[in-house]
Structure 1
Amino acid sequence: MEKSIEINGSNEYKLPHMKKDASIANLSSFSVECDATSYESALMHLNNRLTEEVHFEAMVNSQEQVI
């Protein structure tokens, strides 16, 4: 997940080697960790995307009112 976040959600990345034999003993206590820089970058990217979506939606709605 962190690799996907680092490249802004794209799925064009290679997964790092994972220990296939390893298992999670207690799934309820398992938590995913992420680098703080990657996390902050992802939040900024998502915020930018949401701002773009609002802008595009406003443009579409304004054109619908003209028609």
Structure 2
Amino acid sequence: MATYDTTGGGALERLRRRYETTEKKCPACGFVDEAGNWTSETDGRRVVYHHVCPSCGADREHVIELG
């Protein structure tokens, strides 16, 4: 899967930024990650947004299926 760290304003990039600004609180431990740091990867058929809590290590993912 390819990893993308773009600064463009496409729809998928805007969605990643939305996760970074609205999903800061870890549901597992309650830690608020002000930095956000969601990553996105794609294989051309789906996009996976991923975040690891810096406090407890809990993984969160959002998967978007493309066409």
TM over 0.5: no
Larger Rg: 1
Smaller-chain TM-score bracket? under 0.3
Higher-helix-fraction structure: 1
